[in-house]
Amino acid sequence: VTEPREWRPLIYRECTDLLWLFLFFLFWAGLMFIAGYAVVAGAAERLVLGYDSFGNICGRKNSPVKGAPLSGQDMTNKKYVFFLNSCNLEMQSLEISSVSLCVSSCPQEQLNSLEDLQGFARINGSSLCVYNLNVSSYTLNPKASELCPTLPVPPSKSFPLLNRCIPQNPECYSKSASALISAVNEMDALHRILAGILAGRDTVIGLSVLSLAFSFILILTFTFIRTLLVHTLIALVVFGLLFVSGVLWWLYYDYRNDPSTELETEKENIKFLLGYAVFSTIVTVVLLSLILVLRKRLQFTVQLFRMINKMISRIPFLLFQPLWSFLVLIVFWVFWVAVLLSLGTAGTAQITSGGQVEYRTASGIHYMAWYHFVALIWTSEFILACQQMTIAGAVVTCYFNRNKNSPPRHPVLSSISVLFCYHLGTVVKGSCLITILRIPRIFLLYLYNFLKQKESACAKCLFKSCCGWFGCLERCLRYFNQHAYTTTAINGTDFCTSSKDAVFILAKNSTKIASIICFGGFIIFLGKVFVVCFTVFGGLMAFNYHRELQAWVVPLLLVGFFAYVVSHSFLSVFEVTVDALFLCFAIDMETNDGSAEKPYFMDQELLTFVHQSNKLTEEQKPRSMKPLQDNEDGTELQPMV
């Protein structure tokens, strides 16, 4: 039996989990190889700038492709892609069947005849027919109907970033957007998601900004929380849950009884609405039951957040930590998407009939894409784990400080310094374990989508059971990872040792702090529900007033997911602070007794709060606690210089 560890914050540390850090560097070396190959062999500008059917990239000078007489043209002033049959785009072998051209401007008005096409070309200097057809020959050439766009040509507008001329006619809009996305990826689910985002992009961006605003409001609420604010927050959450559930059921009933519902996408909307309504109702019932059960403990919320805000007031820069982490994630995601676009366009040009050019994907790209996908999960989890350990390290530094009136200087910078100098390997290992659990869930989701078409009840049951098991295991691992990071910040031990020590100390003091941590996490979770509810409510109102956007239910789900991710990123400061603070409390209670020889690091207010919340005052004899003086001896964590 191993002896209990002596919990003592360390000033002098050693590097932990170096092997895992080395593996992470090797993994990123592989990612850099893939990125380099994608840049050299790929042409992301074909997707971003657009290209025509003859091998020319729009908006730049081009080199000629052997065997394609219309390639190698200067398209510097022709920045937009125009499809000759934009209202009936179809996919053939992952390529859009319609001939595409580079044009200088998209037609703003409907063109009904060849004379209109001729006038548009002369006025705007933009030919909408194949390059080798002279403008003056539009009405004379017998093959003009084959070399010019299908009439009538609907009014169109260039799509931001992608520079494609998208018809503004609602009947053509959805088909064109879906076909463009299909040219990038062949997965049906991705088609619907991205096509829906294309159709309602302005609404999605507006709702995302709304979720950011709600998250900032919650941070201010938790920072200056009072009893009235707690009851107001809970009342808003209850109102939001009931209202969103009611609106979902009303929309489901309204859409189901709409006689004009004929398109397949509209029928899918009804199915999604039914699923949303059922899920929202279940969540509402569960949360209302929990609020009812825990209503007597709501008065402890103000005291709990007073303890948290007291700690954060000593480290005010903690509130900015999620912002920096979010910016780092955005930079990485942009890099990841850029590499993915380049990787997806890595291939060779092949000449087809009529002198047109098609690009064939190079072999081995699928394996690189899977590697790239794992990099997305692992690196994202690594960045979030770095944020958790930074916050935990700063809390540990301030907690194990004898002079409460003179907090350590720059605890956040000190924590970041300790992390990058000694414990990156520990964070890598923890994030890798999360990644290992997430990959099987994603594979099961892919398998479920494949088997769903066969309508196998056994497969669905097996899928739900496995996904539920992996989900519970992932949540438990995240919980223990956070405490392992805090333990590493204290003792400077590796991941496995820190996990074992954290489990031991939590199990021994579970009766004292478990209910507080769970209740604090529940209140913070209600804050996340508040952000999601009101963001989704705004989305329901916005999308419902634009029913011409046929595939809007899937983007609404993404908006809700993004709202939860944003609120989780910003409220994680309070969540991690709660976990780290009360783990330090458990360690303090384990190693000290409040005597003159072993005084507590905590103040009397924290000790009293814990005793009251767990009703320990009557069950155990209160331990004497001597007021802490600046000159008392004891273990203290000093910021690293």
pLDDT at 496: 92
Sign of CA dihedral 339, 340, 342, 347: positive
* Alpha carbon 141 to its chain's center: 54
Tokens of 432: 């890798």
CB distance 315 to 411 below 8 Å: yes
Going by pLDDT thresholds of 50, 70 and 90, the confidence category of residue 367 is confident
Tokens of 521: 């996490």
Q: Give 640's Cβ-side CA count (13 Å radius).
A: 23
Of the segments 160-174, 300-314, 457-471, which one has the largest average pLDDT value?
A: 300-314
pLDDT at 30: 94
628 vs 453, which has greater pLDDT?
Answer: 453
pTM of the model: 0.72
pLDDT at 27: 96
Rounded CA-CA distance 274/568 in Å is 26
- The per-residue pLDDT for range 500-556, each reduced to its tens digit, is 988 888 888 776 676 677 777 777 888 888 888 888 778 777 776 655 444 566 677
CB distance 576 to 582 below 8 Å: no
Going by pLDDT thresholds of 50, 70 and 90, the confidence category of residue 95 is low
Rounded CA-CA distance 73/75 in Å is 6
Average pLDDT over the chain, rounded to an integer: 77
Spell out the alpha helix ranges (H) of 294-406: 299-314, 321-344, 365-399
Tokens of 551: 């595939």
Burial (CB count <10 Å: 0-12, 13-18, 19+), residue 276: buried
Rounded CA-CA distance 521/290 in Å is 13
Going by pLDDT thresholds of 50, 70 and 90, the confidence category of residue 196 is low
Rounded CA-CA distance 414/423 in Å is 13
183 vs 309, which has greater pLDDT?
Answer: 309
* 350: CB partners within 8 A, 6+ apart: 357, 358, 359, 360
Tokens of 443: 């594979």
Rounded CA-CA distance 285/275 in Å is 16
CB distance 182 to 91 below 8 Å: yes
Domain ranges of the chain: 49-185, 190-224+296-349+359-616
Q: Which of 28-42, 448-462, 586-600 has the lowest mean pLDDT?
A: 448-462
Sign of CA dihedral 326, 476, 614, 512: negative
Rounded CA-CA distance 30/62 in Å is 31
pLDDT at 29: 96
What percent of the chain clears pLDDT 70, i.e. is strictly above it? 76
Question: Cis peptide leading into 259, omega within 30 of 0?
Answer: no
What beta strand segments (E) does 136-294 contain? 156-158, 165-167
Q: Of all residues in the chain, what percent are helix, strand and coil, respectively (each to 5)? A: 65, 5, 30
pLDDT at 424: 94
Going by pLDDT thresholds of 50, 70 and 90, the confidence category of residue 427 is very high
pLDDT at 426: 95
b/e 290-301 (16+ beta carbons within 10 angstroms → b): ebeebeeeeebb
The DSSP code for 74 is B
pLDDT(21) > 80: yes
Q: Which of 23-32, 89-98, 125-134 has the lowest mean pLDDT?
A: 89-98
Rounded CA-CA distance 318/391 in Å is 7
183 vs 476, which has greater pLDDT?
Answer: 476
Rounded CA-CA distance 473/467 in Å is 10
Q: Give 34's Cβ-side CA count (13 Å radius).
A: 27
- Tell which residue, 452, 464, 460, 517, has the closest CA to residue 486: 517
Q: CA-based angle 580:581:587, to the nearest 5?
A: 90
Tokens of 631: 């000159």
Rounded CA-CA distance 484/495 in Å is 6
Beta bridge partners of 539: none
Of the segments 2-11, 168-177, 193-202, which one has the largest average pLDDT value?
A: 168-177
- Tell which residue, 161, 149, 170, 177, has the closest CA to residue 82: 149
CB distance 96 to 180 below 8 Å: yes
